[in-house]
Amino acid sequence: MSKHIAVVGLGSMGGAMATALHRAGWQVHGHDPSPAARSAAEKEGVHTVDSLDQLASTPYVVLSLPSASVVEATVPTLLTRPGTLAIVDTTTSQPATSAACASLAAEKGVAFVDAPVSGGRAGAVAGRLTAFVGATADALDVARPVLDALTDGQYRHLGDPGSGNVVKLLNNVLAAVNLVSVGEALAVAKAYGVDPAAAAAGISGASGGSKVSAAMYPDWVLTGTYDSGFALGLMARDAALAVETAAQRGEAPQLLAAASNRWQEALAALGPGADFTEIARTVAPSLTAEGTAAA
């Protein structure tokens, strides 16, 4: 099996994945339009190139890009020369984009897998991300070495191309709902004189518990650190995309839509660069020392 791989997009997640692959023995080439991102990757042992077309014909390619539109612009360039076996797209993209890219790649004899990931930068560095996979069975078989390297086997094949992005968007919008609801609940606890941290611990051991109550609020909100590393603008985008994706199939999830609106309000108040856990500033200001204003 070839151990040559390219990573397109060397930001927080892509750079971490490139570094992990290099440490795992892959020969990694990378590209990013940002000179700073390329320089950071070079320091970790990743060989970078200045233009995307230099990566065409690399046997395996991982995409870690900011949006579906960038994926659409990137994939045709990677398919201009023969030699690529599989493209694994870890971007939180859109189902129709993934299906179109899979079809385009198949015409060239290349496997395309949508595999948006969860686990943050820490999971990427450790090679232990969780991936939501959409692909044909044949494409999955070709891409399996890359998926194994990125996730240590923690991925689930959910269906045809695009399925991975459907479920990843649903995962993120459920987290978005929970960040709103847990914040509101802990604010009620505080109003009754109950320590929010104690309330979160109690809830987390019972039926209302979740990763949000067990870790996100205790670690990032109640401590005032807000340093998860995931931007509020990205979560607001993903929540809106989940509702939009539902509408494309005639579904109208009212609770998900209401939560998405709360994220748009937080985006307007705090800006896209705020940490996503700072949603607490707008939905539960009594929990934060600074109220609704970013620190």
Of 3, 43, 168, 211, which one is the catalytic site residue? 168
Residue 278: both structure tokens together: 């700072």
Task: For residues 250 and 248, give the distance between their C-alpha atoms in angstroms, rounded to a whole number.
Answer: 6
Cβ neighbours of 262 (radius 10 Å)? 21
Residue 62: both structure tokens together: 């991982």
- Kindly tell me the sign of the dihedral angle through the C-alpha atoms of 194, 212, 220, 265: negative
Q: Decide: helix, strand or coil at residue 131.
A: strand
Q: Decide: helix, strand or coil at residue 279.
A: helix
168 is catalytic: yes
Q: What letter does residue 211 receive in the DSSP assignment?
A: H
**CA distance to 19, 20, 23, 119, 152, per residue, from 126 (Å):** 10, 7, 10, 10, 9
> CB of 29 within 8 A of CB of 55?
yes
Instruction: Name the E strands within the chain.
Output: 4-8, 27-31, 47-48, 60-63, 86-89, 111-114, 117-118, 130-134, 155-159
**Cα atoms in the 13 Å half-sphere on the side-chain side of 21:** 29
Residue 75's Cβ-count burial label (10 Å; 0-12, 13-18, 19+) is buried
Task: For residues 108 and 82, give the distance between their C-alpha atoms in angstroms, rounded to a whole number.
Answer: 8
What are the residue numbers of the active site? 168
